[in-house]
Amino acid sequence: MDFALQWPPGLCTCSFLCLDYSSSHVNEELLFMLQNITLCVLPTKLWGLPPTTSTSCAGPGVKNIPVPGMNGCMANDSLQNTRRLCPPRVYVENRLSVSYVPYYLPCPEIFNMKLQYKGEKPFQPVTPSQYPQPKLLEQKPTELLTLTPWLAPIVSEGTFDPELLHRIYQPLNLTVGVTVFAVGKYTQFVQHFLESAEQFFMQGFRVHYYVFTNDPTAIPRVRLGSGRLASIIPIQGHSRWEEISTRRMETISQHIVERAHREIDYLFCLDVDMVFRNPWGPETLGDLVAAIHPGYFAVPRQQFPYERRPLSTAFVAGGEGDFYYGGAVFGGRVARVYDFTRGCHMGILADKANGIMAAWQEESHLNRRFISHKPSKVLSPEYLWDDRKPQPPSLKLIRFSTLDKDTDWLRS
């Protein structure tokens, strides 16, 4: 059940709200929501009642329940004995001048209530769909495509005004989360990652880094700027790096449910063995964000390393696919990231039950899901580059890149 209120201009706020419902009109679900949501401030003119200075609700079994901006009152009896809330009166005191945003003013607390994570739909295989492949270098070899066929912007240098976007997003008081996994020998990359992020990542915004590790004592302390936090979250280590990779989606989705959905607005899931080299700002914010892999942005999709075995839930047919996305960078609104990571995790579990592991573990499932659940914003390879490759003329700068390292030694 969704709630939203229209706030007409020029109306005063209510300090107390009382409602009366007969037992035949109030169901358990409504009573539960009334007990568990923060009520919005209601204007008195909507009720057509004169203002008064009364500050309490009379009647037996009535309990005042304080909520931000107003007070509510509710029957103190159990749901089994009564379904009555206090009589239909609105008490108003202390008319206040109100600053409001025109049009519609939703209740943020009610929007947060949507993150219940209950009743998710079971995993269902996706029906393949075939259409021509979009090509990032379709116009000219030195110019990147700026819009996908499903009308999602492809973000690259020159496609946005950073100062304008900063002025638009900063008043929204957003908090951006970042998850990284530092397991085993990968703890050595944490300091370089955080120091470069403090220099370039989402400057002027609140940021919360979530560092998942099996060895918290190995994580160095890095000085962070104002409004920027780092949380070290212990996780179980695994002997095989493939197992670590496949557990990532599960860990992120569980973390969102247990904690992150209360602390952040957007979440980016990044690899820790990477470094920021140029500003990464609000141009990357979107409902569901993917980044094009640097190794496959200029090749036909027949060469993409998709999972090609039909037994796997990550299977991609020969005529399917848009871009090949890197598993090192994805994100979006926290609720959408939860849906996405949980969907990938369900596919991984289905594969495990069938005794199969996708070709590139969670990256294979990520690409399968992005085919059926299109990203609302796509980041060009300048947001996911590889230091072992020379910078092509189509990329004006590199913002985030993986370090040149001995991968076999790190995974041993």
List the catalytic residues.
Answer: 363
Cα angle vertex 103, ends 99, 105, to 5°? Answer: 60
Sign of the alpha-carbon dihedral angle for 380, 383, 387, 392: positive
Question: Distance between CA 338 and CA 328 in Å, rounded?
Answer: 17
Return the HEC string of the chain.
CCCCCECCCCCCCCCEECCCCCCCCCCHHHHHHHHHCCCCCCCHHHCCCCCCCCCCCCCCCEEEEEECCEEEEEECCCCCCCCCCCCCCEECCCCCCCCCCCCECCCHHHHHCCCCCCCCCCCCCCCCCCCCCCCCCCCECCECCCECCCCCEEECCCCCCHHHHHHHHHHHCCEEEEEEEECHHHHHHHHHHHHHHHHHECCCCEEEEEEEECCHHHCCCCCCCCCEEEEEEECCCCCCHHHHHHHHHHHHHHHHHHCHHHCCCEEEEECCCEEECCCECHHHCCCEEEEECCCCCCCCHHHCCCECCCCCCCECCCCCCCCCEEEEEEEEEHHHHHHHHHHHHHHHHHHHHCCCCCCCHHHHHHHHHHHHCCCCEEECHHHCEECCCCCCCCCCCCCEEECCCCHHHHHC
Helices 241-258 and 334-353: crossing angle in degrees, nearest 10, is 140
Question: Distance between CA 27 and CA 11 in Å, rounded?
Answer: 31
Q: Are the C-beta atoms of 55 and 91 separated by less than 8 Å?
A: yes
Task: Check residue 41 and give left, alpha or beta (phi > 0: left; psi -120 to 50: alpha).
Answer: beta
Q: Are the C-beta atoms of 237 and 185 separated by less than 8 Å?
A: no
